Amino acid sequence: MSTTTTQMNCDVKNLDLADQGKKRIDWANQSMKVLQIIRKEFIKNHPLRGIRVSACLHVTAETANLAVCLRDGGADVVLCASNPLSTQDDVAASLVRDQGIPVFAIKGEDNDTYYNHIIAATEHRPHITMDDGADHTKRQDLLDGVIGGTEETTTGVIRLRAMAKEGVLRYPIVAVNDADTKHFFDNRYGTGQSTIDGIIRATNFLLAGSKFVIAGYGWCGRGLASRGRGAGAEVIVTEIDPTKALEAVMDGFRVMSMTEAAKIGDVFCTVTGNKNVLAREHFEVLKDGAIISNSGHFNVEIDIPALEKMSSSKRTTRNFVEEYVMRDGRKINLLGEGRLINLASAEGHPASVMDMSFADQALSVEYMGSNAKTLKPQVYVVPEHLDKEIARLKLESMGIKIDRLTPEQEEYLAGWSEGT
Ligand code: ADE
């Protein structure tokens, strides 16, 4: 499989894009200081020597720096996309041409090509799999030699935990998503900023003064709501979890059911991890010109088949904007085919936040390489000392010093008798 003129087995759009890709990878690298430190250590000690890694991640400039870091640590790495619309073709080209890392990913690939690319990466016969959405599990027959894996995202971790519970998970996984240095920052500030970036790049919509409806108040929803407010929108949150809904209320947002929100919202974004969050009954009442988008992992949060059935026609009005005309004449604008809008029409999370997520990934791969034999086919958290070390290094790279406990304070915290 190769649409490119290279000896390597790979499938990227066009190797002529590599010069631009290289510049963007270098640009991202400048903001990935923690990963740079890990890479230096990897170059010195080659902790991943002899380990084959199959990575199914969004193929971005930030992921390229992770792939190079693992390769420099001695790993034999191949990369495929974890979403048909998230690949940066210039980055994929540079990884192939400049780094010799095989990539199977083309932005806009159809579903068959997308799955064939995952198979091609899995045929690398990895020892370690890396996923953003648990895609490797789709080819159980190719996973015989795998000793362990890592998972980047909330949706993937939920699936893998369900598999472990049913006894069908075949090898141990480190849930990178669950590290504090991942979800506190990537899910909140990364998704918050990049989702708004994606919506604005696709539409050039003015958020100020608009009613911005956010479905889901997990870490991603929290970040998106806060950034939406910062852009001047009147943010409305919908939730199914009473505690999260209450948190949104006390964070100062309007909270209501989607049935109510659908009637008044100007722009919508789903970040729930669930399906049909925007569905037929909502399409029936959306305002003329409403914009609907998704930043959750899978393109199931908006019931697109229902929208297709309910509309009389559709046309592409801008890149990543599909205008559906309903039978009563109202227009509904769907962004990015309902796929992750922050990666479809923008560039994903900024490099400085991916720095921590991918530091977690790199150290988790190293951890799995040395500890897989002692682990069961279950989902594990990133060891706390690694999580804390990443936070410490990030602060150091920002030139920020923090206090330390005095011995007296340590003793106080460890005891129970002092104080009246
Ligand atoms: N997920 C969200 N943003 C990303 C990025 N910039 N690179 C890789 N994965 C991402």
pLDDT tens readout for residues 169-222: 999 999 999 999 999 999 999 999 999 999 999 999 999 999 999 999 999 999
Is residue 354 within 6 Å of ligand 1 at its C-beta? yes
pLDDT at 372: 97
**Residue 372, CB-side half-sphere exposure with 13 Å CA sphere:** 20
413 lies in a domain? no
Assess whether 134 and 57 both reside in one domain.
yes
Return the CATH number at 313.
3.40.50.720
Confidence at residue 112, expressed as pLDDT on a 0 to 100 scale: 97
The number of beta carbons lying within 10 Å of the beta carbon of residue 258 is: 21
- Cα-to-centroid distance, 231 and ligand 1 (Å): 22
Task: Identify the bridge partners of residue 224 per DSSP, sorted by sequence position.
Answer: none
Cβ(291)–Cβ(315) below 8 Å: no
Residue 10 placed within a domain: no
Q: Are residues 258 and 139 in the same domain?
A: no
Exposure letters 225-253 (e unless 16+ CB within 10 A, then b): bbbbbeeebbbbbbbeeeebbebbeeeeb
- 71 CB within 6 A, ligand 1: no
Lookup: tokens for 405: 């406990």
| pLDDT-derived band at 6, boundaries 50, 70, 90 | low
Q: Write out pLDDT tens, residues 112-154.
A: 999 999 999 999 999 999 999 999 998 888 899 999 999 999 9
Beta carbon of 339 within 6 Å of any ligand 1 atom: no
77-120 pLDDT, tens digit per residue, is 999 999 999 999 999 999 999 999 999 999 999 999 999 999 99
**In total, how many domains does the chain have?**
2
Asked whether residue 232 falls in the same domain as residue 147, the answer is: no
Q: Does residue 414 belong to any structural domain of this protein? A: no
Q: What is the pLDDT of residue 200?
A: 98
Residue 360 and residue 334 in one domain:
no
- The pLDDT assigned to 139 comes to 83
Domain of 60: which CATH number? Answer: 3.40.50.1480
One domain, residues 178 and 192:
no
* Tens-digit pLDDT profile for residues 31-53: 999 999 999 999 999 999 999 99
Res 7 pLDDT > 90: no
Q: Does residue 23 sit in the same domain as residue 113?
A: yes
What distance in angstroms lies between residue 130's CA and the mean position of ligand 1's atoms?
Answer: 14
Q: How many CB atoms lie within 10 A of CB 168?
A: 11
Residues 170 and 29 in one domain: yes
Residue 420: pLDDT above 80?
Answer: no
Which of 344, 359, 378 is the last residue in one of the domains? Answer: 344
Q: Are 106 and 87 members of one domain?
A: yes
C-alpha 348 to ligand 1 mean position (Å): 5
Domain of 317, in residue numbers = 188-344
Q: What CA–CA distance (Å, rounded) separates 387 from 124?
A: 30
CA of 322 relative to ligand 1 center, distance in Å: 24
User: Of all atoms in ligand 1, which is nearest to the CA of residue 60?
Assistant: 7
- Portion of the chain with pLDDT greater than 70, in percent: 99
- Check if 60 has its Cβ closer than 6 Å to any atom of ligand 1: yes
Is the residue at 412 inside a domain? Answer: no
Q: Are residues 176 and 193 in the same domain?
A: no
Q: How high is the pLDDT of residue 141? A: 85
In a domain, 290, yes or no: yes
Residues 177 and 219 in one domain: no
Q: Which of 321, 344, 367 is the last residue of a domain?
A: 344
- pLDDT average, residue stretch 244-268: 98
Residue nearest to atom 9 of ligand 1 (CA): 58
* Ligand 1 pocket member 182 (CB < 6 A): no
405 domain-assigned = no
Distance of CA 220 from the midpoint of ligand 1 (Å) = 13
Q: Which atom of ligand 1 is nearest to the CA of 347?
A: 6
pLDDT at 419: 83
Q: Is the residue at 8 inside a domain?
A: no
Region 232-241 average pLDDT: 98
> Which atom of ligand 1 has the smallest separation from the CA of 194?
3
∠ CA 254-255-257, nearest 5°, is 135
- Kindly give the number of the ligand 1 atom that is closest to the alpha carbon of 82: 9
Same domain (yes/no): 376, 258: no
Residue 68 belongs to a domain: yes
Write down which residue in 344, 360, 385 finishes a domain: 344
Instruction: State both tokens at 412.
Output: 């106080």
Q: Are residues 353 and 337 in the same domain?
A: no
